[in-house]
Chains A and B, each alone.
Chain A
């Protein structure tokens, strides 16, 4: 039996480190990886809560029971969206690099390509 809060604290730490990377890193690819780290942190709390509601069954205010496995399905959707986001984001990075010849976000300060 592990306290749920341990998982949530680990998730919060990973999310904060992702935010730090997003704020402090200057390389556009590393910034993108920090976003992936934040998504992973949120996935961890989804899975932890799925297990938690499985061991502590409870009903919603509407009377319907909570379906614990929904947490796993949400993680699946987050991963699908992250994959789509990675494909489009990296394509944008490649096309920015072609015109600017740099990956430093301080040199990419115009919205146009």
Chain B
């Protein structure tokens, strides 16, 4: 029961933060509401027993990535969003298509809910760091090493792009 109440509370905070991201016209307000979304998602991960994922959600996403965003917003001195027309196709085709897609998925999930079953916490050793580490450094060793190469390439790309020309 407590689990359900906590899920509903944090889920509502999540959705409210995401809507606020869309409504705000100043990018710094959007960035801060995205931090709220990520923090409440971390709490939902904790409810699912994913302690490691919740920790790296806070450290990497809400910490590192959002600090990068806020830093760039402040560096570029970004003001409020201009109101321009934008793409007509995005407005009149993209938005209805997304509504239809989300509605279909939601309808299927609501009707298939009984067949899907539920999630539960309680199995104590699930989601612990040492189990993930064993999986990551044994079964997923090659992808792990490839992501380190990817990070290296991303760092070099960011340095080259950020360097002032001439």
- Report the minimum CB–CB distance from B2 to chain A (whole Å): 11
- Report the minimum CB–CB distance from A19 to chain B (whole Å): 5
Instruction: Report whether A104 and B69 are in contact in the complex, using a CB–CB cutoff of 8 Å.
Output: no
Q: Which residue of B61, B84, B94, B135 is within 8 Å of A26 (Cβ)?
A: B84
Q: Which residue of A5, A51, A94 is within 8 Å of B109 (Cβ)?
A: A5
- Tell me if A80 counts as interface (CB < 8 A to partner B): yes
Which residue of chain B is the closest to A18 with respect to CB atoms? B18
- Report the minimum CB–CB distance from B89 to chain A (whole Å): 9
With contacts A12-B105, A13-B15 known, is A2 near B56, CB below 8 A?
Answer: no
Instruction: Report whether A48 and B110 are in contact in the complex, using a CB–CB cutoff of 8 Å.
Output: no
Which residue of chain A is the closest to B45 with respect to CB atoms? A47
Q: Mark B91-121, 1 if CB is under 8 A from A, else 0.
A: 1001100110110011001101100111111
A82–B73 Cα distance when bound, in Å, is 18
A50–B109 Cα distance when bound, in Å, is 18
Q: Which residue of B72, B102, B153 is within 8 Å of A16 (Cβ)?
A: B102
Taking CB atoms, residues of chain B closer than 8 Å to A86 are: 65, 68-69
With contacts A8-B109, A88-B157 known, is A80 near B22, CB below 8 A?
Answer: no
Instruction: Report whether B132 and A81 are in contact in the complex, using a CB–CB cutoff of 8 Å.
Output: no
Interface size class of A (residues with CB under 8 A): 35 or more
Interface residues of A in 50-106 (CB under 8 A from B): 50-52, 54-56, 67-70, 72-73, 75-77, 79-88, 90-95, 97-98, 103-104, 106
Which residue of chain A is the closest to B160 with respect to CB atoms? A91
Q: Which residue of B34, B65, B123, B135 is within 8 Å of A73 (Cβ)?
A: B135
- Report the minimum CB–CB distance from B95 to chain A (whole Å): 6
Instruction: Report whether B120 and A84 are in contact in the complex, using a CB–CB cutoff of 8 Å.
Output: no
Interface residues of A in 15-30 (CB under 8 A from B): 15-21, 23-27, 29-30
Q: List 7 A-B contacts (CB under 8 A).
A: A4-B118, A12-B102, A20-B98, A23-B90, A32-B69, A81-B150, A106-B85
**4 more CB-based (< 8 A) A-B contacts, given A2-B119, A33-B34:** A4-B117, A5-B113, A26-B86, A104-B84
Of all A-B residue pairs in the complex, the 6 with the closest CB atoms, nearest first, are A84-B154, A91-B161, A5-B113, A16-B102, A91-B158, A17-B18
